[in-house]
Amino acid sequence: MKHTIPKRVLLIGLAGMLLSLSACSKSVLYDEQTVGLEAYAQRQVPLELYVEEEIKLGEYEPVSGVYTGAYVQKDENITGDLLAYERMLGQVQTFKVFEYNLEENLPAQELLRCMAQKKVPYIKIVLDNNYDLTPLYHLVYDLKSAYGMPVFIELYPLTTRNYAPSEYKKIYQRAYEIVHKYVKNAIVVWSTDESRVSDMPLYYPGDKYIDWAGINIYIPRYKQGERYSYEGTKQLDFWYKNFQHAKPMLISSLAISHFSRVDHVYTIHETQDQLTLFYKEVLESYPRLRGVLYMNVDMNAISNNNKEDYRLTTQPALINTMKALTLPLACENTLQIPQKDKVPCYMKYSIIGTYFEDKLYISEEYMGTCFPKVNLKKVAKKQDLQGEVYYALDELSKYTACYYKS
Identify whether residues 35 and 74 lie together within a single domain. no
Q: How many whole angstroms separate alpha carbon 240 and alpha carbon 200? A: 12
Q: How many whole angstroms separate alpha carbon 289 and alpha carbon 302? A: 29
Identify whether residues 309 and 168 lie together within a single domain. yes
Could you tell me if residue 335 is inside a domain? no
Q: Are 233 and 197 in contact, with CB atoms under 8 Å apart? A: no
Identify whether residues 44 and 63 lie together within a single domain. no
Q: Tell me, what DSSP letter sits at residue 127?
A: P
Q: How many whole angstroms separate alpha carbon 281 and alpha carbon 203? A: 29
As a three-state string, the secondary structure of 2-25 is EEECCCCCCCCCHHHHHHCCCCCC
Could you tell me if residue 333 is inside a domain? no
pLDDT of residue 31: 42
pLDDT of residue 289: 97
Identify whether residues 99 and 169 lie together within a single domain. yes
Backbone angles phi, psi at 377, to 5 degrees: -65, -20
Which percentage of the chain shows pLDDT scores above 90? 71
Domain count, the chain: 2
What are the residues whose beta carbons fall under 8 Å from the beta carbon of 284, sequence distance 6 or more? none
Strand partners, 243: none
Boundaries of domain holding 122:
59-326
Could you tell me if residue 12 is inside a domain? yes
Could you tell me if residue 332 is inside a domain? no
Identify whether residues 179 and 116 lie together within a single domain. yes
Identify whether residues 228 and 348 lie together within a single domain. no
* CA–CA distances in Å: residue 330 to residues 246, 286, 400: 23, 15, 26
Could you tell me if residue 16 is inside a domain? yes
Identify whether residues 105 and 160 lie together within a single domain. yes
Q: How many whole angstroms separate alpha carbon 136 and alpha carbon 315? A: 36
Q: How many whole angstroms separate alpha carbon 257 and alpha carbon 254? A: 10
Identify whether residues 314 and 296 lie together within a single domain. yes
Residues of the chain with pLDDT under 70: 1-41
**269, 291, 326 - which closes a domain:** 326
Identify whether residues 47 and 63 lie together within a single domain. no
**294, 326, 358 - which closes a domain:** 326
Identify whether residues 48 and 141 lie together within a single domain. no
Identify whether residues 38 and 125 lie together within a single domain. no
Identify whether residues 261 and 284 lie together within a single domain. yes
Strand partners, 391: 362, 381
For 230-299, give the DSSP string. Answer: ---SHHHHHHHHHHTTT--EEEEEEEE-SEETTTTEE-HHHHHHHHHIIIIIIHHH-TTEEEEEEE--BG
**263, 296, 326 - which closes a domain:** 326
Q: Which CATH number covers residue 121?
A: 3.20.20.80
Backbone angles phi, psi at 36, to 5 degrees: -90, 140
Could you tell me if residue 331 is inside a domain? no
For 41-84, give the DSSP string. Answer: -EEEEEEEEEEEEEEEPPTT--SSSBEEEEE-TT-GGGTT-HHH
Q: How many whole angstroms separate alpha carbon 65 and alpha carbon 75? A: 28
pLDDT of residue 306: 84
Could you tell me if residue 271 is inside a domain? yes
Q: How many whole angstroms separate alpha carbon 194 and alpha carbon 40? A: 43
pLDDT of residue 8: 41
Could you tell me if residue 334 is inside a domain? no
